[in-house]
Amino acid sequence: MTPGKSATASAELLKQLESKNPAEVLKALNKLEKAGNVRDLPGIIRVMAGISDRELLGHFTIFLCNVRSKEAPAIMAQSLANPAYAKIRTDLTRACWESQLDYSLYLILFAHLFITGDFVQAVEAFSVIEYTSIEHPVNKGLLKEISILVKNSLPDQPETKQRLTRELILVLEPFVTEG
């Protein structure tokens, strides 16, 4: 995605994404990857939410993984919080950590996704929290708050997520302890 592409060209490509022909959709995605604008993300995510074909959905997820704009985290976080996109929340969360962008301002959202999501979504949210905590400056108070939330959720977690929850607590521990 580039910083600036004409709105007309982007609008045409976004319209092509809505094609019933998967080949046309992939062609439009490829063009958007080269010439799209970060302002196209809400439209791309909206289209993505309506896709039922897992293979095509995978292409959208990979597209989002490759977005490198510093403006993308705000858009992605807004989309993750939108109930209309619950069906693709795991894919969006995966794209967040694979993009390696700075999600430090949104870690509380990922903590909630970890706590409330199924196992797969929890793994993806865990990855965002872990990567961001290690690679980007994060407010220690925020990490402490997340640690408390995660610890408090442990008894209520299904058995399948309890080990993962304990692991996240261990990951957060060095960031919240004094020293």
pLDDT in tens, 152-174: 999 999 999 999 999 999 999 99
Q: How confident is the model at residue 22 (pLDDT cuts 50, 70, 90)?
A: very high
pLDDT surpasses 50 at 3: no
For the entire predicted model, the pTM comes to 0.91
Six-digit token string for 97: 């950590």
Confidence of residue 6 (pLDDT cuts 50, 70, 90): low
* Residue 137 backbone phi and psi in degrees, to 5: -70, 125
- The domain segmentation of the chain, as residue ranges, is 1-101, 103-179
At 77, list the tokens.
């976080």
Are 18 and 56 spatial neighbours (Cβ–Cβ below 8 Å)? Answer: no
Which residue, chain included where needed, has tokens 């442990």?
A: 154
